[in-house]
Amino acid sequence: MQKREFVYQARAGRVVFGPGSLQHLEREMLELKSERALILCSPEQKETGEAVATRLGARAAGVFDRAVMHVPLELAKEARALARELNADCAIAVGGGSAIGLGKAIALASGLPIIAVPTTYAGSEMTPIYGITDAGLKKTGTDPRVLPKIVIYDADLTMSLPVPLSVTSGINAIAHAAEALYSRDANPVTSLMAEEGIAAFARALPAIVADPHDVEARADAQYGAWLCGTVLGSVGMALHHKLCHTLGGSFNLPHAQTHTIVLPHALAYNRHAAPEAMERIARALGSEDAAIGVYELAKRCGAPLALKDIGMSAEDVSKAADIASSNPYWNPRPIQHDALLKLLQNAFDGVAPRAASA
Ligand code: NAD
C-alpha cells in the first residue's frame, strides 16, 4: 500500500540524455551563461578531459586531471585556487564519483556551477551530497550548492568503462535504489524511480557483459544510474550505506566492489522488516527474492562476491561489526551487534544469502 503522507523534495537540475549528447556541451555552457570552463578528470581519463577541452576551444580555461577517490582536502584547495586563477566561471567534471566529487568541493567553497558528464554509474551527479577527506577522515555533508546544474549522460563515454567496473558500479547504483525503497522518508515518486532504476540495471548489466560496446545497453545503464542517483539524493539511506562507509573508510576497501558484495547480505538482514520494499526489489530483478536476486545478478556478471577477495582480513570482520554498531542509526530492522557480525562474516566468506524461509 502506498504511503498517504509524505514529503517529496524535487531538486532543480537539467539532464541532457542520449548517446552523442556531449556535442551539446557548448550549448549547455551558454544555458549557464558560462564562458570559461575548468575541466576536471582523473589521471586515467586525462585523454577524455583533453578531448573535451579541444571541443570547447576558447571556452576551455584549463584541465585539472588529478581527481582521486574521496577528495583529499589539499587537492580540493589546489583545484579551487586554479579555478580562481584561471577566472573559470564553471567547472565541467568528466568521469566518475571522484571527478564529480572534486567539482563539488570547488562549488562548496565558491558556488561555481558544475556541469557533470558522468562516465560511471555511481550517481554522484544527481545528489547534493559532498565528501572531503582531511587527515584521513572523510567528512560528508549536504549542500544544494554542490548539486550539478546540468548533467550530460552520453553513453558513448561509457564504452571504455571496463566490464568488471561497469558491473560493480551498476550494483552500487542498485544499492541506492534498494535502500530508497525502504527508506524512512521514501515516497511514491522516489519509489517509482527506484524500482525502474533497478529494472534498468537488471536488463543492462548482463547485456554489457555479453557485449561491452552495446550502446543500447550502455544507455539503459545510464538511465538506471540517473534514477538511482536521483533517489540517493532525495531520501535517507540505511544499514547498507553505513556498512560500506565503514568498510571503505576504516579498511580502505574499494568503493563499488564493497557495495556489490555487501548488498545481498544487507537486504537479507532487512528482509522481514521491509517486506513491501523487498517485493518491489525482487520484481525489478525478475527474482523471487531481493537478496538472492542481487547475489545471482552479481554472480552471473562475474563480480566479486566475498570481502576476503578484495583485501579485507579475517580479523577486521569483528572490528567492522564493532564500529558499525557503535554509532546507532536508523534502519528498518534495529542494528544488533551479533546479527551484524553474522552479516559481515557471510559477506567476508561470500556465501549466498539464505532463502527467506531458511
Ligand atoms: P571513480 O570516479 O573513482 O572511477 C573509478 C576509476 O574508473 C577511475 O580510475 C576512473 O578514471 C575510471 N573511469 C571512470 N569512468 C571511466 C570510463 N568511462 N572509462 C574508463 N575508465 C573510467 O569511481 P566511482 O565509483 O564513480 O566513484 C566513487 C567515488 O564517488 C567515491 O569516492 C564515492 O564516495 C563517491 N560517490 C559520491 C556520491 C555522492 O552522492 N556524493 C555518490 C556515489 C559515489
| Residue 1: band (very low, low, confident or very high) from pLDDT cuts 50, 70, 90 | low
Would you say 176 and 127 are in contact if contact means Cβ atoms under 8 Å apart?
Answer: no
pLDDT digit string, tens, across residues 184-214: 999 999 999 999 999 999 999 999 999 999 9
State the pLDDT at residue 135: 85
Residue among 120, 146, 154 to mutate when testing ligand 1 (max atoms within 8 A of CB): 120
| Residue 27: band (very low, low, confident or very high) from pLDDT cuts 50, 70, 90 | very high
Q: Torsion angle of alpha carbons 321, 300, 225, 133, nearest 10°?
A: 30
Nearest alpha carbon, ligand 1 atom 6: 96
Q: Rounded mean pLDDT of 28-46? A: 98
Q: Rounded mean pLDDT of 113-130? A: 98
pLDDT digit string, tens, across residues 60-89: 999 999 999 999 999 999 999 999 999 999
Alpha helices (H) in the chain, listed in sequence order: 25-31, 46-56, 73-85, 97-110, 163-181, 188-210, 215-232, 239-251, 255-270, 275-285, 290-300, 316-326, 337-349
Residue among 41, 98, 168 to mutate when testing ligand 1 (max atoms within 8 A of CB): 98
* 96 pocket-lining for ligand 1 (C-beta < 6 Å): yes
Q: By three-state DSSP, how is residue 218 classified?
A: helix
* 293 pocket-lining for ligand 1 (C-beta < 6 Å): no
Q: Could you give the CA distance from residue 278 to residue 282 in angstroms, rounded to a whole number?
A: 6
Other beta carbons less than 10 A from residue 250's beta carbon? 13
Mean pLDDT, the chain, rounded, equals: 96
Residue whose grid cell is 573508510: 249
State the pLDDT at residue 183: 97
| Residue 32: band (very low, low, confident or very high) from pLDDT cuts 50, 70, 90 | very high
pTM over 0.85: yes
State the pLDDT at residue 327: 82
Residue 266 pLDDT greater than 90, yes or no: yes
Q: Which of 247, 75, 259 is nearest to 178 (CA)?
A: 259
State the pLDDT at residue 213: 98
Nearest alpha carbon, ligand 1 atom 34: 70
State the pLDDT at residue 357: 61
* 122 pocket-lining for ligand 1 (C-beta < 6 Å): yes
Nearest alpha carbon, ligand 1 atom 2: 96
Q: Rounded mean pLDDT of 124-151? A: 94
* 230 pocket-lining for ligand 1 (C-beta < 6 Å): no
Q: Rounded mean pLDDT of 234-244? A: 96
pLDDT digit string, tens, across residues 149-178: 999 999 999 999 999 999 999 999 999 999
State the pLDDT at residue 12: 82
Which residues lie closer than 8 Å to 20 by C-beta, 6 or more apart?
Answer: 154, 156
* 44 pocket-lining for ligand 1 (C-beta < 6 Å): yes
- The closest-lying atom of ligand 1 relative to the alpha carbon of residue 129 is 41
> What share of the chain in percent tops pLDDT 90?
92
State the pLDDT at residue 44: 97
Q: Which of 173, 161, 175 is nearest to 94 (CA)?
A: 161
- The closest-lying atom of ligand 1 relative to the alpha carbon of residue 127 is 40
Q: Could you give the CA distance from residue 194 to residue 280 in angstroms, rounded to a whole number?
A: 9
Residue among 11, 104, 124 to mutate when testing ligand 1 (max atoms within 8 A of CB): 124
State the pLDDT at residue 328: 77
State the pLDDT at residue 180: 98
Residue 51 pLDDT greater than 80, yes or no: yes
Nearest alpha carbon, ligand 1 atom 35: 97
- Cβ-count burial of 288 within 10 angstroms (0-12 exposed, 13-18 middle, 19+ buried)? exposed
Cell of 77: 584547495
233 CA distance to ligand 1 middle (Å) = 16
Q: Could you give the CA distance from residue 138 to residue 250 in angstroms, rounded to a whole number?
A: 10
Residue 307 pLDDT greater than 60, yes or no: yes
Residue 2 pLDDT greater than 80, yes or no: no
Would you say 92 and 99 are in contact if contact means Cβ atoms under 8 Å apart?
Answer: no
